[in-house]
Amino acid sequence: MLYIGVDLGTSAVKLLLMNEDGKIENIASREYPLYFPNPGWSEQNPQDWFDQSMEGIKELLAGYPKEEVAGISFGGQMHGLVVLDEQDQVIRPAILWNDGRTGKETEYLNQVIGKERLSEYTANIAFAGFTAPKIFWMKEHEPENFGKIRKIMLPKDYLAYRLSGSFCTDVSDASGMLLMDVKNRRWSEEMLKICGITEEMLPKLYESYEVVGTLKAEITKDLGLSENVKVIAGAGDNAAAAVGTGTVGDGRCNISLGTSGTIFISSRNFGVDEHNALHSFAHADGNYHLMGCMLSAASCNKWWSEEILKTKDFKAEQEGICRLGENHVFYLPYLMGERSPHNNPDARAMFIGMSMDTTREEMTQAVLEGVAFGLRDSLEVARSLGIQLERTKICGGGAKSPLWKKMIANIMNLKVDVIESEEGPALGAAMLAAVGCGAYPDVETVAEKVVKVIDTIEPEADLVQKYEERYQEFRKIYPAVKELF
């Protein structure tokens, strides 16, 4: 049988076709626009997601036996607010995860409602990107639109709704809304009251590997698929990527160097750090995870290379970098504010430490190191909880850089396992579809079967020591310049 994984990203939808043995048969990708109607705002049209996903599925399945497709599932950009009216029409463009308009609402939730109460209700505090502050923003700034709301959903769940008619979400994605009691995997009555919404407005909660329905008749007709094709709940993109890298079960780690950067630690047990610097979310394997998320990771390198250096040859820019652990230039990677661990939407990127003999290579090196140092900040929070890690998987566009992987290994002092497939969320979604269709008994079993480590980058003792000194300098910079933001 065949399984479709849909990764609904910020710039494109990526679709993957996997067979029952875990072999990737085909991959397709379709882009859609991103809108910035005001400084710091970020929106998309949900119809674009649906249209490009449908076209992408057709492209993905061209030449393959459609009758063998058994299931479809999703990994999706998290935290986005999609709102529908009583006619099931989208009320306004979706407000995305990297939208920064909710500073006042976030502050109200954290300061007036209070971080302790929020953590008690949801295991998390408010971050500007989360869904609940966006609902507050609509209530305050678009009361007419707010009054029309009948359904609230996340981006990937809009796809599931259009494909199956099932008003659903999964616990990993719902964890990032600030509306869910993560520990008990249910909607928080207290948070619904605070936000002025009802449980009827929210989708039914499922585990990521559970079947939510089958394809609607008009969808099967358009795609040429059977009406028996199962739709499986899926997961938030980071949880789906973790499945795709085998970061399931207890005490495993994955670092993602995508547009945003994450450090993701799976756990069988629920846990929260005392300052809520890390997100405490449900995982797609039925357990839990801790996650540190930085808003700009590989996007820092893209910005530096394309906008400043005016080149897309990332490899060439990195070729002259050889003095690792000796750079005196530092870079704060906060192009769009920062989430973990600083929770400051006003933070901004900066270089510090340049002199007359600073080179282009040192500036590029500082960008790559700054992202790794930023991720290390979240790792230090996990270590403060007694979590001891020896190794991590790695995925995302930045993971294609051998130099960046070497930096990660030595800055984190972790063995970095490179896996055969770097398809992350799309592969994870296909794996969840296979579990939902009964091809595998659980998520850990399919991960063991599908995920293969092909290389490991080992930390080097002398380089670890050099980077330890550099990191201790880096971590002093943000507190020193925080007031400038």
> What value, to the nearest 5°, has the Cα angle with vertex 176 and ends 193 and 100?
90
Q: Give the separation between CA 360 and CA 373, rounded to whole angstroms.
A: 20
Q: Is 79 annotated as a binding residue?
A: yes
- Which contacts of 468-473 are long-range, i.e. CB under 8 A and separated by 24 or more positions? 468/413, 469/325, 470/325, 470/327, 470/369, 470/373, 471/373, 471/376, 471/411, 473/330
**CA dist list (Å): 433 to 125, 281, 302, 417:** 31, 21, 33, 25
Residue 141 annotated in ligand binding: no
Residue 222 designated active-site: no
Catalytic site residue from 99, 170, 173, 237:
237
Q: How far apart are CA 248 and CA 175, in angstroms?
A: 17
Catalytic residues: 237
From the annotation, which residues make up the binding site for substrate?
A: 78-79
